[in-house]
Amino acid sequence: MPLSRKILAAAMLILLPVMALAGPKTLPRIQVTDLDGKKLDFQEILKEGPVLPNLWATWCKPCLAELPKVQEFHKEWESRGLQLVAVSIDDAKTQKQVKPFVHRHKFEFPVYTDPNQEAFRKMGGRAVPYNVLIAQDGTVLDAHFGFRPKDPEKWGELLTELLGPAPAEEGSDG
Protein backbone atom coordinates (compact mmCIF):
# COMPACT_ATOMS: atom_id res chain seq x y z
CA MET A 1 0.00 0.00 0.00
CA PRO A 2 1.47 3.40 -0.95
CA LEU A 3 2.45 5.69 1.91
CA SER A 4 -0.30 8.21 1.09
CA ARG A 5 -2.97 5.51 1.49
CA LYS A 6 -1.46 4.39 4.80
CA ILE A 7 -1.56 7.98 6.05
CA LEU A 8 -5.16 8.38 4.88
CA ALA A 9 -6.16 5.11 6.57
CA ALA A 10 -4.48 6.17 9.82
CA ALA A 11 -6.17 9.57 9.69
CA MET A 12 -9.58 7.93 9.19
CA LEU A 13 -9.03 5.67 12.21
CA ILE A 14 -8.25 8.72 14.30
CA LEU A 15 -11.04 10.92 12.90
CA LEU A 16 -13.95 8.43 12.83
CA PRO A 17 -14.60 8.60 16.59
CA VAL A 18 -14.38 12.41 16.47
CA MET A 19 -16.69 12.58 13.45
CA ALA A 20 -19.25 10.44 15.28
CA LEU A 21 -19.64 13.23 17.82
CA ALA A 22 -20.71 15.53 14.99
CA GLY A 23 -24.12 13.81 14.77
CA PRO A 24 -27.31 15.57 15.85
CA LYS A 25 -27.79 16.50 19.52
CA THR A 26 -31.50 15.72 19.29
CA LEU A 27 -33.25 13.30 17.00
CA PRO A 28 -34.65 14.88 13.84
CA ARG A 29 -37.94 13.62 12.34
CA ILE A 30 -37.14 10.19 10.91
CA GLN A 31 -39.13 7.40 9.27
CA VAL A 32 -38.05 3.87 8.38
CA THR A 33 -39.95 0.90 6.93
CA ASP A 34 -40.34 -2.55 8.51
CA LEU A 35 -39.81 -5.78 6.58
CA ASP A 36 -43.51 -5.89 5.68
CA GLY A 37 -43.60 -2.33 4.31
CA LYS A 38 -45.10 -0.58 7.38
CA LYS A 39 -43.63 2.86 8.22
CA LEU A 40 -42.26 3.71 11.65
CA ASP A 41 -41.92 7.28 12.88
CA PHE A 42 -39.16 7.51 15.52
CA GLN A 43 -41.02 10.29 17.35
CA GLU A 44 -43.85 7.82 18.01
CA ILE A 45 -41.58 5.10 19.36
CA LEU A 46 -39.79 7.61 21.63
CA LYS A 47 -43.09 8.10 23.50
CA GLU A 48 -42.59 4.59 24.88
CA GLY A 49 -39.06 5.09 26.25
CA PRO A 50 -35.41 5.37 25.22
CA VAL A 51 -34.42 3.98 21.82
CA LEU A 52 -31.22 2.43 20.50
CA PRO A 53 -31.15 2.55 16.71
CA ASN A 54 -28.53 0.14 15.42
CA LEU A 55 -27.74 0.92 11.78
CA TRP A 56 -26.13 -1.94 9.89
CA ALA A 57 -25.89 -3.74 6.54
CA THR A 58 -25.76 -7.37 5.45
CA TRP A 59 -22.40 -6.78 3.73
CA CYS A 60 -20.77 -5.19 6.82
CA LYS A 61 -18.53 -7.67 8.68
CA PRO A 62 -18.24 -5.56 11.89
CA CYS A 63 -22.06 -5.27 11.86
CA LEU A 64 -22.37 -9.04 11.74
CA ALA A 65 -20.04 -9.34 14.74
CA GLU A 66 -21.96 -6.67 16.64
CA LEU A 67 -25.57 -7.79 16.07
CA PRO A 68 -25.46 -10.77 18.51
CA LYS A 69 -24.09 -8.43 21.21
CA VAL A 70 -26.85 -5.94 20.44
CA GLN A 71 -29.41 -8.73 20.77
CA GLU A 72 -28.00 -9.70 24.20
CA PHE A 73 -28.16 -6.05 25.30
CA HIS A 74 -31.75 -5.79 24.10
CA LYS A 75 -32.76 -8.85 26.14
CA GLU A 76 -31.15 -7.33 29.23
CA TRP A 77 -32.76 -3.88 28.90
CA GLU A 78 -36.13 -4.29 27.16
CA SER A 79 -37.95 -4.90 30.46
CA ARG A 80 -36.69 -1.47 31.57
CA GLY A 81 -38.26 0.22 28.55
CA LEU A 82 -35.39 0.30 26.07
CA GLN A 83 -36.45 -0.17 22.49
CA LEU A 84 -33.90 -1.50 20.06
CA VAL A 85 -34.59 -0.60 16.45
CA ALA A 86 -32.25 -2.30 13.98
CA VAL A 87 -32.14 -0.41 10.69
CA SER A 88 -30.57 -1.99 7.63
CA ILE A 89 -29.06 0.51 5.21
CA ASP A 90 -28.79 -2.10 2.45
CA ASP A 91 -29.57 -0.47 -0.89
CA ALA A 92 -31.78 -1.78 -3.70
CA LYS A 93 -29.05 -4.24 -4.80
CA THR A 94 -28.73 -5.99 -1.42
CA GLN A 95 -32.04 -5.17 0.30
CA LYS A 96 -33.60 -8.49 -0.81
CA GLN A 97 -31.05 -10.23 1.46
CA VAL A 98 -32.25 -8.48 4.63
CA LYS A 99 -35.40 -10.48 5.41
CA PRO A 100 -33.78 -13.94 4.95
CA PHE A 101 -30.77 -12.71 6.95
CA VAL A 102 -32.99 -11.60 9.86
CA HIS A 103 -34.93 -14.89 9.87
CA ARG A 104 -31.74 -16.98 9.66
CA HIS A 105 -30.25 -15.17 12.67
CA LYS A 106 -33.54 -15.23 14.64
CA PHE A 107 -33.34 -11.63 15.78
CA GLU A 108 -35.74 -10.87 18.63
CA PHE A 109 -36.00 -7.14 17.96
CA PRO A 110 -37.72 -5.18 15.22
CA VAL A 111 -35.79 -4.71 11.99
CA TYR A 112 -36.44 -1.86 9.57
CA THR A 113 -34.95 -0.78 6.28
CA ASP A 114 -33.56 2.52 5.06
CA PRO A 115 -32.57 1.73 1.44
CA ASN A 116 -32.05 5.39 0.49
CA GLN A 117 -30.08 5.95 3.71
CA GLU A 118 -32.14 9.03 4.52
CA ALA A 119 -32.60 8.13 8.21
CA PHE A 120 -28.93 7.11 8.38
CA ARG A 121 -27.83 10.55 7.13
CA LYS A 122 -30.30 12.45 9.34
CA MET A 123 -28.87 10.65 12.38
CA GLY A 124 -25.35 11.68 11.37
CA GLY A 125 -24.30 8.29 9.99
CA ARG A 126 -21.24 8.03 7.82
CA ALA A 127 -20.21 4.38 8.31
CA VAL A 128 -21.73 1.21 9.74
CA PRO A 129 -22.24 -0.12 12.24
CA TYR A 130 -23.61 3.09 13.69
CA ASN A 131 -25.40 3.20 17.03
CA VAL A 132 -27.33 6.10 18.52
CA LEU A 133 -28.68 5.92 22.06
CA ILE A 134 -31.60 8.35 22.36
CA ALA A 135 -33.41 9.42 25.54
CA GLN A 136 -37.21 9.56 25.55
CA ASP A 137 -37.11 13.36 25.09
CA GLY A 138 -35.12 12.93 21.84
CA THR A 139 -31.74 13.86 23.31
CA VAL A 140 -28.88 11.89 21.78
CA LEU A 141 -26.95 10.33 24.67
CA ASP A 142 -24.34 8.50 22.60
CA ALA A 143 -23.56 8.11 18.92
CA HIS A 144 -20.62 6.45 17.22
CA PHE A 145 -19.44 4.34 14.32
CA GLY A 146 -17.84 0.95 14.55
CA PHE A 147 -18.11 -2.08 16.78
CA ARG A 148 -16.51 -1.88 20.21
CA PRO A 149 -17.00 -4.80 22.61
CA LYS A 150 -17.48 -2.41 25.55
CA ASP A 151 -20.38 -0.53 23.89
CA PRO A 152 -23.12 -2.45 25.74
CA GLU A 153 -21.42 -1.65 29.06
CA LYS A 154 -21.34 2.07 28.19
CA TRP A 155 -24.98 2.04 27.04
CA GLY A 156 -25.93 0.30 30.29
CA GLU A 157 -24.22 3.01 32.32
CA LEU A 158 -25.99 5.75 30.36
CA LEU A 159 -29.36 4.02 30.71
CA THR A 160 -28.82 3.53 34.45
CA GLU A 161 -28.16 7.27 34.76
CA LEU A 162 -31.32 7.95 32.76
CA LEU A 163 -33.67 5.34 34.25
CA GLY A 164 -32.15 4.79 37.68
CA PRO A 165 -30.86 1.50 39.05
CA ALA A 166 -32.69 -1.72 38.21
CA PRO A 167 -35.35 -2.70 40.73
CA ALA A 168 -34.25 -5.39 43.17
CA GLU A 169 -35.21 -8.89 42.12
CA GLU A 170 -38.10 -10.46 43.98
CA GLY A 171 -37.06 -12.67 46.85
CA SER A 172 -33.61 -11.08 47.25
CA ASP A 173 -32.61 -9.74 50.63
CA GLY A 174 -31.27 -6.31 50.13
SS (H, E, C) 37-49: CCEEEHHHHHCCC
Per-domain residue ranges of the chain? 22-163
Average confidence (pLDDT) over 64-69? 93
pLDDT at site 42: 85
Residue 169 pLDDT level (bands cut at 50, 70, 90): low
Which of these CATH numbers, 3.40.50.1100, 3.40.30.10, 1.10.10.10, 3.40.1440.10, describes 22-163?
3.40.30.10
This prediction has a pTM of 0.80
Q: Judge whether residue 157 has pLDDT over 60.
A: yes
pLDDT at site 7: 53
Residue 17 pLDDT level (bands cut at 50, 70, 90): very low
Mean pLDDT score across all residues of the chain? 85
Q: Are 162 and 134 spatial neighbours (Cβ–Cβ below 8 Å)?
A: no
**Dihedral angle at the C-alpha atoms of 85, 52, 121, 100, nearest 10 degrees?**
-30
